[in-house]
Structure 1
Amino acid sequence: MGHMDLIVKPTPRLQGEIGALSSKNYTTRYLLVAALAEGTSTVYFPAHSEDSDAMRRCIQDLGAVLVEDEEKAVITGFGRHPRDVKELNVGNAGAVLRFLMGIASLCPDVTFVNTYPDSLGKRPHDDLIVALEQMGVEVEHNDGRLPIRIRGGRPKGGRIQVSGSVSSQYLSALLFLTPLLAEDSEIEVTGDLKSKVVVGQTLEVLEQAGIVIHASDDYMRFRVPGSQSYQAKTYTVQGDYPGSAAVLAAAVVTESDVLVKRLPVESKQGERAVVDVLRMMEAPLTHEHDEVHVKGNGKLKAVEFDGDAATDAVLAMVAAAVFAEGTSRFYNVENLRYKECDRITDYLAELRKAGANVEERQAEIIVHGRPEGVEGGVEINAHYDHRVIMALTIVGLRAKQPITIKDAHHVAKSYPQFFEHMKALGAQVEWVK
């Protein structure tokens, strides 16, 4: 859409209901388990993202039939018999490559091509290659990188070790594959396991698909009975808590009556903590039947929060804290520094421009709340960062003068409909060339 700036004008009131942005992680997994079932499954509200679109493409190459309309994808699976394809192209989608390297080992000879040599093409996948080789699969590769040729056909279950220290995606790949094999398997994770939360999401989806897996409490050991079949089911993709955090924060800083749907109370997304944090800030909200209903009055109390498990919702929480009474502290958030931009230094610099009173430590953000609002009337640089763009929008709603956000189109990295959704709720936002 070209370089686009956005003006956020003071907006005292938000009202209406939206379906949350759909979760990418769940979409990718549901599309895969639907393809691995015999029969026809339905996935309601699937996300469209680089990963999920790559998964759509590849499961069709492997023999699944996919018919999609505005609200659902209907998928007739190939079960344990993917088509004998020669090549698969996952584009730049790393998770999809890893999940499908496992499934492709059921094909006699398939090559994953290298179409993004400067991005995905630079990332190594050795840990999964080593695990597949333990299962009798031959893998030709370029020092662990694409192009990767898998000569499988008959992977064997049994005792498998896989490292979890680079990515949990290698483990997830084995969890999707091993139930289909004739033998029972025991998977042992070596090293540390990254992103346990996401392994929980994989196990949740497998269970919904009718697969039995016995996991140790720490997710370091798994027993997988062999000769299982994925069942054809109906799935609803849950809402994305990180994206919804910005909408909910906007609702609590204004006078509002806002309903956000498809946010399960029992979600395994760490960012679901945004609801607890807004409650701690005494925002008037209810969370039941997969819906969050905010009746905001703009009044909030300061909060202290360990942001480690909810990293992608912290910027939105900080934006709400800008207008809270008292001093808020978000600690244990150093990994915010290593995202699309330094989400501590860069973000706080822009908040200060808008009139917020904030300070940083190496691993903390401290916010001295200004319940009376901030001045605004400035142009702000969002550092091409989708989360910063959304968080600054929240601040603009309560500024006295409009705020211009540079290059706000980069919000599309995670939430292309963000500004449409905000407009639907009554936010005064407009694009400027």
Structure 2
Amino acid sequence: MDMIVTPTGRLQGELQALSSKNYTTRYLLVAALADGTSTIRYPAHSEDSDALRRCVRDLGAVIEEDDERIVITGFGKHPRQIQELDVGNAGAVLRFLMAVAALLPEVTFVNNYPESLGKRPHDDLIQALQSMGVAIEHREGKLPITIRGGAPRGGKIQVSGSVSSQFLSALLFLTPLLDEDSEIEVLHDLKSKVVIGQTLEVLAQAGIVVEASEDLMRYRVPGRQAYKAQEYTVQGDYPGSAAILAAAAVTTSDVTVHRLLEQSKQGERAVVDVLKAMNVPLTHENGVVHVRGNGKLTAGEFDGDEFTDGVLAMVAAAVFAEGTSRFYNVENLRYKECDRITDYLNELRLAGANVEERRDEIIVHGRPEGVEGGVEVDAHYDHRVIMALTVVSLRAKQPIRIKDAHHVAKSYPNYFDHLRALGAQVQWVE
């Protein structure tokens, strides 16, 4: 379905932040890898977390849930043998489970999203798993992928971090279960280091010992460990909240978002600092962000690698800033559900924004007077693009129609409900 966003001058109200997708998926995984029963409180409900629920259930986990919690009895290091796994369009879920699948004799990950996840590369993880004695059949690093494992070996492992940190996270989830100790060396660069911090935090909560170098480029993981079954509580989600906060920043607003911890290890926590640097009137105290937007923003320069999943929303805010903004160190945006630089900027130009791209940069020449709008834009089946284009549409002079906006459900199913509750004029159309 498409969404028509009509320009909206004022937003007002209070929201509970969406629960974190990143923490929910990691808690689900460590609970599945434990022998025993764990409880996850306030889990996120999104296509990604639902995909992981479905897949770990297929692999033998027993799951019961209600509105506020998931109770999961794990399979430990003995997942059930199955022929196929369907992760939907969830890249992180695919990569985490490729590592888990190394414990199985054979399983094929199917490709039901050839124009999105089907185009994303996974070579770096494939090469690392192959070095551990896992046979893998693939199509130039892309889906469909068949894993033939059963007895992966620890030891010295190398993995590139230049495309995604998810490959490293996958290995960190697998290696504690192996018979041998492992030493993991990250080659080239490591994107989204803050997300690795989340992985290490969850592993520690699950009773797993990992020794990480200060620069997060080398790891020692003792083998023969066991995940501990226990209770976890999911914190509020900064990546989804980034779009809500950006929407409040570009309009006249009085918007409060709860459950956003100041000391969170989510890198996207930095979006609060980005908006402050753009002179957006806001406070952040006791887990509450309060924005009193006046629609006036100032341009700035920001290292986007610190808040990868919040960059598009901040770019949307910068569209209306006074001056030229620069978001650098963002090349990994090209390897997401779509090319989040070229594809996104093409749609911004259609809407009337003045933007440029470099290989690893987004440059925004702000238009405080607003953009023209009155067009149909293509979100490229990407939830982050959908949310960011909505922010821009709120300050357009004419309504904007966002194609296939229902794909926002990948991470934030009630995004448009939340915007409507704040006063945004949004309407679903066939």
State which of 8, 11, 14 in structure 1 corresponds to 2:9: 11
Deviations 1:394-424 (A, max 9, x none): 345455x552324262552543322100111
CA-CA distance at 1:133 after TM superposition: 4.8
8 Å CA contact retained: 2:350, 2:375: no
Extract unaligned runs of 5+ from structure 2.
none
Q: Please tell me whether residue 289 in structure 1 is matched to residue 290 in structure 2.
A: no
State which of 110, 115, 119 in structure 2 corresponds to 1:114: 110
Q: 1:258-277 residue pairs with structure 2 within 5 A?
A: 258-277=255-274
* Larger Rg computed on CA atoms: 1
8 Å CA contact retained: 2:21, 2:48: yes
8 Å CA contact retained: 1:22, 1:239: yes
Q: 1:360-375 residue pairs with structure 2 within 5 A?
A: 360=356, 362=358, 363-370=361-368, 374=370
CA-CA distance at 1:322 after TM superposition: 5.0
| Length, aligned pairs only | 415
Aligned to 1:172: 169
* Cα separation, 1, equivalents of 2:388 and 2:237: 16
* Cα separation, 2, equivalents of 1:388 and 1:64: 33
CA-CA distance at 1:348 after TM superposition: 3.4
1:159/1:251 CA distance change after superposition, 3 Å: same
Q: 1:293-308 residue pairs with structure 2 within 5 A?
A: 293-296=290-293, 298=294, 300-308=296-304
Q: 1:151-230 residue pairs with structure 2 within 5 A?
A: 151-152=149-150, 154-230=151-227
Deviations 1:186-244 (A, max 9, x none): 22233443443332222122122121100112222111122322122322333333321
CA-CA distance at 1:347 after TM superposition: 0.6
Aligned to 1:139: 135
Aligned AA for 1:382? Answer: V
Aligned AA for 1:308? Answer: G
8 Å CA contact retained: 1:6, 1:404: yes
8 Å CA contact retained: 2:58, 2:82: no
Q: 1:32-431 residue pairs with structure 2 within 5 A?
A: 32-83=29-80, 85-92=81-88, 93-107=90-104, 109-116=105-112, 118=114, 125=122, 127-135=124-132, 137-139=133-135, 141-142=137-138, 146-152=144-150, 154-296=151-293, 298=294, 300-309=296-305, 310-324=307-321, 326-332=322-328, 335=331, 338-339=339-340, 342-352=343-353, 358=354, 360=356, 362=358, 363-370=361-368, 374=370, 378-385=373-380, 386-398=383-395, 402-407=398-403, 409-410=405-406, 412=408, 413-431=410-428
SS of 1:365's partner is strand
8 Å CA contact retained: 1:322, 1:369: yes
CA-CA distance at 1:176 after TM superposition: 0.9
SS of 1:148's partner is strand
CA-CA distance at 1:259 after TM superposition: 1.8
Aligned to 1:355: none
* Cα separation, 1, equivalents of 2:99 and 2:371: 54
CA-CA distance at 1:275 after TM superposition: 0.6
SS of 1:342's partner is helix
SS of 2:40's partner is strand
Aligned AA for 2:17? Answer: A
- Sequence identity percentage: 56
1:289/1:166 CA distance change after superposition, 3 Å: same
Report the TM-score, using the length of structure 2 for normalisation.
Answer: 0.83
8 Å CA contact retained: 1:323, 1:369: yes
SS of 1:96's partner is helix
Cα RMSD after superposing both structures: 3.2
1:311/1:86 CA distance change after superposition, 3 Å: closer
Deviations 1:28-52 (A, max 9, x none): 2111001112222222333344432
Aligned AA for 2:428? Answer: W
8 Å CA contact retained: 1:90, 1:96: no
CA-CA distance at 1:140 after TM superposition: 5.1
8 Å CA contact retained: 2:35, 2:76: yes
1:364/1:110 CA distance change after superposition, 3 Å: closer
